[in-house]
Amino acid sequence: FRLPTATEWETERTSWGSNDSAGAYASPLKLVVAGYRHHSDGAIVNADSFGYYWSSTVDGSLSRYLVFDSGDAYMISYNRASGFSVRCLKD
């Protein structure tokens, strides 16, 4: 098993009926807005508002991830020590 690449997440995101959390949940993956654990103190951030899903794509000292909320979905980079959700692909 492995994490999807940023390109694989982009392909998934563009298949959704809408480019937001409703589209993420309506997809076959049923992605949810779980928030994340902050890298500095472990606090839960944006639960029930944003979904954050790691990719395997590294961007310097950061990593790429998929983020979505009720208004948008896109890929961006962030600190790898943060506790984002993962979805694994079977090789």
Q: How many angstroms separate the CA atoms of 14 and 71, rounded? A: 15
The CA-CA-CA angle for residues 68, 70, 75, to 5°, reads 20
* Token pair listed for 58: 């590294």
pLDDT in tens, 13-58: 999 999 999 999 999 999 999 999 999 999 999 999 999 999 999 9
pTM: 0.95
State the average pLDDT over residues 49-78: 97
pLDDT of residue 86: 97
Which residues contact residue 43 at a Cβ distance below 8 angstroms, ignoring those fewer than 6 apart? Answer: 37
Which H or E element spans position 7?
helix 6-13
In this prediction, residue 87 has a pLDDT band, given cuts at 50, 70 and 90, of very high
pLDDT of residue 10: 98
Stretch 63-72: mean pLDDT: 98
pLDDT in the model for residue 83: 96
Tokens for 19? 């480019």
Q: Which two tokens stand for residue 80?
A: 């790898």
The one-letter amino acid at 38 = H
